Amino acid sequence: MSKEKFSFDVLKEDGLTRVGKINTHRGQVDTPTFMIVGTLGTIKSAFMEDVILAGAQIILSNTYHLMIRPGIERIKRVGGLHKFMNCKLPILTDSGGFQIMSLSKLVKINKKVGATFKSHIDGKKFILSPEKSIQIQKDLNSDIVMVLDECPKLSFDKKQIDQSLELSDNWAERSKIEFGNDPKKALFGIIQGGVYNDLRIKSLDGLKKIDFDGYAIGGLAVGETQKQMFKVLDYIIPLMPKNKPRYLMGVGLPSDILGAVKRGIDMFDCVIPTRSGRTGLAFTWDGALNLRNSKYQNDDTPIDTNMNIRNLNVYSKSYINHLINSNEILASMILTMNNIVFYQQLMKKIREAIKTNNFDAFYDKYINVI
């Protein structure tokens, strides 16, 4: 049953891993959870009804992309993103900070003004301040809103990262003021600091003083090694509030998820399952399969005999290989759905393993397989 007020409860702990429940007025989200990414207000190659059927309880969309197209006014006119894209699930919206740094042209950062940039689509000029980002996310009617931060590219220039951190801290405070008080919605802060533990602590301490409904770890999955990422998590997670959701942004591969859950992360998002589906890669319990490979031309077995959602288990690898090599849209649809289901099954099995104190065994069984 959904609750009118946003809240988070830790229900079970097994070492550092934990099972929890996020309560929103649109429904509950069991954690650890993986948010399927619907950047432009759509899960590419999938119907929303099928995403829900697969077990998804929350999805992610993006401020940057939606403000560029179709434009916020068009979405606001119909009452928000849920109505616009026919989504009954809670929606978390990223603030746009990462996309400004990774996609935009001629980006200029000003502490007072915000980020001035040109669209990667048509070169149109935009200005996105902390206040504007929050206003847009409110117009989208997001359930979980992210502060605007500066997400620098992978760098080991500590001075540069520290300067960026101070900017993000200022923007986080302004985001909180603009967000105001809305018990139905949540505002998450974003911890930055690169691979430097002292900077991560500095960032977290600043965010805790402001006080957010949840805390995300940003600035990872930007080119560092998995070992470097886990080293950051090992240090910062024990210092994060225990009674608030912990969100690792932009991650990831199944092994990333297993390792991060082991360290206490509650929420994930990544384009990998859907993007991989569009490029011929299927995730399975026996590892990822590249169905573009010619070795599948005469393989008449399905990807997974137990995958009965949308009758995915009736399509042979041979047939899917043919669809891929013929550039047929159905290939993307089959593989995207397979991957969405796999990721939701992975999270469900992780939660079950934690509940029964068997996560370590589950981790050992699959960490080098999937």
Active centre residues (catalytic): 94, 269
What does R_g of the chain's alpha carbons equal in angstroms?
Answer: 20
Phi, psi of 226 (to 5 degrees): -60, -40
Alpha-carbon gap, residue 341 to 339, rounded angstroms: 5
Residue 110: phi and psi, rounded to 5, are -130, 125
Helix (H) or strand (E) holding 260: helix 254-262
Residue 224, Cβ neighbours under 10 Å: how many?
A: 17
Confirm if 114 and 148 have CB atoms less than 8 A apart.
Answer: yes
Q: What are φ and ψ of residue 270, in 5° steps?
A: -175, 150
Q: Give the H or E element holding residue 338.
A: helix 329-355
Query: What are residue 21's DSSP bridge partners?
Result: 9, 30
Total Cβ atoms within 10 A of residue 123: 9
Largest CA distance in the chain: 61
| The two structure tokens encoding residue 193 | 């600091």
- The per-residue b/e assignment along 25-52, b for 16 or more CB within 10 angstroms, e otherwise, is ebbbbbbbbbbbbbbebbbbbbebebbe
Enter the tokens of residue 65.
Answer: 């992309």
Supply 78's token pair: 């119909």
Q: Give yes or no for a contact between 147 and 211, defined as CB atoms under 8 angstroms apart.
A: no
